[in-house]
Amino acid sequence: MEDPFNDLRLRDFLLFDRVATLGTITAAARELGIPKPTASRWLQAIEDRAGHTLVRRTTRTATLTERGKAFHVAALALLATAREARDAATGDAPGGTLRVSVPVPLGRLLGGRVIAAFRRDLPGVRLEISLDNARVDLVAGRFDLAIRGGALPDSSLIARRLARVPMWLYASAAFADCDAAQVPIVGAVGDTQLLRRVRPDGGEPVVIVDDRAAVADALIWGAGAGVLPAFLGEPARADGRLVRLVETPLTTLDVHAVYLASQRGDVRLRQLIDHIAAELVTTLHGADDAS
């Protein structure tokens, strides 16, 4: 029996992805440069062959059903394979756009040598890096890669652990000879339990910030002490602006790269992840050498 999907074209799957991402048929048609009636006809062809409603339409929006979400993930895999096939057939260097979500503190790491190294290796690839401490939805946000710190929930995403990062109690160099229990604390969300290991009697932070990069800046300018990952604290410690107030790390933070299974063979993704991992290793080895 002939497969009803045999007469669909790659353009149909591309349209489906754009509708899923942009949330309206009108916007998807505009981006692809086709009339809206044509886009509606292509979308209907997919649903006719699937035998199910994949997109709920209103006069203004288009949202995926549960079957539509599953179909979208599979469509992304097909589009990625098509891109790889095109590159292999033409012999072209990798191109296109790579969208990455990175927590703000790690953005400082990506903002320098990683971007420069990646650009040297793959100059034809456009990088779009979004700095956001929230855990983004890769499919909804159309991200190719997310860097995440901490424990990962069970999911269908592929995860590669890049590093296990120690978290130290740092302070401005002005507090180098002070008792850790007496130094004012600049805290980030979730630090209370960690700080009890060195301040068992408690003591409220004088400042709470929801971004450790901002905590690092405050400590460097002399605001007090705070918990920082080594990739933020060690560069400032190496040049004398920060010191460690305790001899052992308060905890460790696993840093992962996560991406969709459909992106597994993407050479651009692999190159970027390798550069990020290498930069983390270099920073953390520097911390070990300075200990």
Whether the CA torsion 173, 174, 177, 181 is positive or negative: it is negative
Comparing 33-37, 92-96, 145-149, 225-229, the range with the smallest average pLDDT is 92-96
The answer regarding whether domain 164-252 maps to CATH 2.60.40.1120 reads: no
Rg (CA), the chain: 24
| Phi, psi values for residue 163, rounded to 5° | -170, 160
- Looking at domain 97-163+254-290, its CATH superfamily turns out to be Periplasmic binding protein-like II (3.40.190.10)
Domain 10-90, second-level architecture: Orthogonal Bundle (1.10)
Please indicate whether the domains covering 10-90 and 164-252 agree at the CATH topology level. Answer: no
- pLDDT value of position 150: 82
Interior CA angle at 262 toward 83 and 5, to 5°?
75
What is the amino acid identity at position 232?
L
What digits encode the pLDDT tens for the residues 182-228?
889 998 877 887 887 777 666 678 889 888 889 999 999 999 999 99
Residues above pLDDT 70, as percent of the chain: 91
Buried b (16+ CB within 10 A) or exposed e, 19-45: bbbbbbbbbbbeeeeeeeeebbebbeb
Q: Is the full-model pTM beyond 0.85?
A: no
For the chain, the domains span 10-90, 97-163+254-290, 164-252
DSSP 112: I
Distance CA 138, CA 133 (A): 14
What digits encode the pLDDT tens for the residues 101-146?
998 888 877 777 889 988 888 888 999 999 888 888 888 888 999 9
Q: How many CB atoms lie within 10 A of CB 171?
A: 24
